[in-house]
Amino acid sequence: MLTNLSETNSIIQHYLTQIRDKEIQKDTLRFRKNLFRIAQILAYEISKKLIYKYVQTETPLAKVQTSVINEKPIICSILRAGLIMHEGFLDFYDQSDSAFVSAYRKHSSPGEFEIVVEYMASPTLKDKTIILIDPMLATGKSMFLAYQALCKHGKPKNVFIASLIASEQGLVYVQRFMPDANIITAAIDKDLNENSYIIPGIGDAGDLAYGIKL
């Protein structure tokens, strides 16, 4: 299942416009704040698909039947670009455990690279609902390899993928290799350039949030 929040106008388009703007990007604090805000909106949309239970709640005046989430999704971020979005999700799912996995591009020549997964920290994922976070779903390979690595800690029962921007090519790849995943994104861009960066995209989300890496 794929949810593209750009199909209807909402405040997410306002934040996304600022994130894309190359002049506004120079304000790293605003960039991180807007990424955090969009993560919260994605977290809210995913909450509509979780499992709930009814409970009796007593107010100062009477009892009322309400509903609460009956599961604690595990928030899984791909380092390092996913960290700001991770905090946005934890702001909503404040009782959730966290998992982290590194997946980076190791370049052999211009435009040629392999995805390397080196570090992972995770609780058991067996029969859990997990939310995989990566701001840019470009080729889709980082997401799939990170998911494969995480599955060493148990097979989850439900998988959500949350991204800021996804490419059409990346979506095709993930839907092929992770057909049961629910994907939610703030926008879908058509192309990848020769270096497999999303076009028009935003550039390097990790560099924009935390500074240029060596």
Q: What is the pLDDT of residue 213?
A: 77
Angle, CA 28 vertex, CA 197 and CA 97 arms, to 5°: 80
Q: Environment class of residue 152 by beta-carbon count within 10 Å: exposed (0-12), middle (13-18) or buried (19+)?
A: exposed
How are beta strands 52-58 and 63-69 bridged, if at all?
antiparallel
Number of domains in the chain: 1
CA 105 to chain centre: 18
Query: What pLDDT score does 112 carry?
Result: 65
- CATH label of the domain that carries residue 27: 3.40.50.2020
Buried b (16+ CB within 10 A) or exposed e, 166-178: bbebbbebbeeeb
Identity (one letter) of the amino acid at 120? M
C-beta of residue 151 within 8 angstroms of C-beta of residue 74: no
Per-residue pLDDT of the chain (214 residues; tens, 9 = 90+): 899 999 999 999 999 999 999 999 999 999 999 999 999 999 999 999 999 999 999 999 999 999 999 999 999 998 888 899 999 999 999 999 999 998 766 666 666 667 777 888 999 999 999 999 999 999 998 899 899 989 989 999 999 999 999 999 999 999 999 999 999 999 999 999 988 889 999 998 889 988 887 7
Q: How far apart are CA 48 and CA 25, in angstroms?
A: 31
Residue 79: which domain range?
A: 2-210
Task: Look up the pTM and report it.
Answer: 0.90
169, 43 contact by CB (below 8 A):
no
182, containing H or E segment: strand 182-189
